[in-house]
A and B are shown apart, each in its own frame.
Chain A
Amino acid sequence: MSPALSPAALPTPENLALTELFVPAAALFVVLAIMLFYRAVAGPTTQDRLLAVNVLGTNTVVILALLSVGLDEPWFLDVALVYALLNFLMAIAISKFTVERGGVL
């Protein structure tokens, strides 16, 4: 568990297989996100659509984090962090603006 051991162990073929594990996982997450679009389109109330878009945003954050490992692009994590912030802000703002008196939170 020493910190000097793990970067030396990075270019082994086993670890390459480890990073290649992440792109199919991201593809499966994309499939789940496409399934979530049904609730975002056909939800009966505004809050249903907002909840589906919120879960979709969390899925997008996870997909960005998985692709940052799978494609070896570390700046995807910055995009994921900003996207998580904006997703939370959007959920709070819309759920506050759908109520007239604004008593949410």
Chain B
Amino acid sequence: MIDQLQFWAVLLCLAFGLFFTFVSTVGVLRLPDVYSRAHTASQTDTLGAGLSLAAVALALGWESTTIYTVLLLFFVFLTNPTAAHAIARSAAESGITPLTAEDELESETPDDGASAPGDTAVNAGEEGGDHA
């Protein structure tokens, strides 16, 4: 009975870990901005990695290598959002303006916009002064 419980717990953790890592991959590939990509990389990827490492720890059972896995889980939970925060902050300090709703409106109606900020978020400098 406890084997069945362990099996289904491992299967559930692995499935959800794969799902959340897939969501994070799609977010990093498809989202339009550095900051939104940092958002999805800090949240969903941490959850996916944490669930997968929890599946590894549950499958190992009561062994000495489980301590390594739990340590790795806590380390990933601490460092992954910290690294994403540092990356987003370095993006903010090197002058990348975030994509706002006004940029979305300008890219949807391109007849009045002289500048086309649709494809890239790197329009720092003279037109990004009011956002900061």
A32 touches B22 (CB 8 A): yes
Interface of B is mostly: helix
> Taking the complex as formed, is B61 at the interface, i.e. its CB lies under 8 A from any CB of chain A?
yes
Which one of A15, A54, A87 has the greatest number of beta carbons of chain B within 10 Å? A54
A35 touches B94 (CB 8 A): no
B91 touches A47 (CB 8 A): yes
Interface flags for A75-99 (1: CB within 8 Å of B; 0: not) read 0011011001101100110011011
Nearest CB of A to B22, in Å: 6
Within 8 A of A (CB), among B34-64: 34, 37-38, 41, 45-46, 48-49, 52-53, 56, 59-63
CB contact under 8 A between A95 and B86, given known A36-B28, A103-B93? yes
Interface of A is mostly: helix
A84 touches B75 (CB 8 A): yes
Chain A residue, CB-CB nearest to B67: A77
B86 touches A44 (CB 8 A): no
Chain B residue, CB-CB nearest to A26: B52
A99 touches B45 (CB 8 A): no
A69 touches B21 (CB 8 A): no
A21 touches B14 (CB 8 A): yes
CB contact under 8 A between A51 and B6, given known A74-B65, A81-B71? no
B34 touches A77 (CB 8 A): no
CB contact under 8 A between A91 and B87, given known A7-B62, A39-B29, A55-B24? yes
In the complex, chain A residues whose CB is within 8 Å of the CB of B94: 46-47, 98-99
B41 touches A61 (CB 8 A): no
B2 touches A99 (CB 8 A): no
B86 touches A92 (CB 8 A): yes
B49 touches A81 (CB 8 A): no
Nearest CB of B to A35, in Å: 5
A96 touches B86 (CB 8 A): yes
A61 touches B72 (CB 8 A): yes
In the complex, chain A residues whose CB is within 8 Å of the CB of B37: 39, 48, 51
A48 touches B53 (CB 8 A): no
Nearest CB of A to B119, in Å: 8
> Taking the complex as formed, is B100 at the interface, i.e. its CB lies under 8 A from any CB of chain A?
no
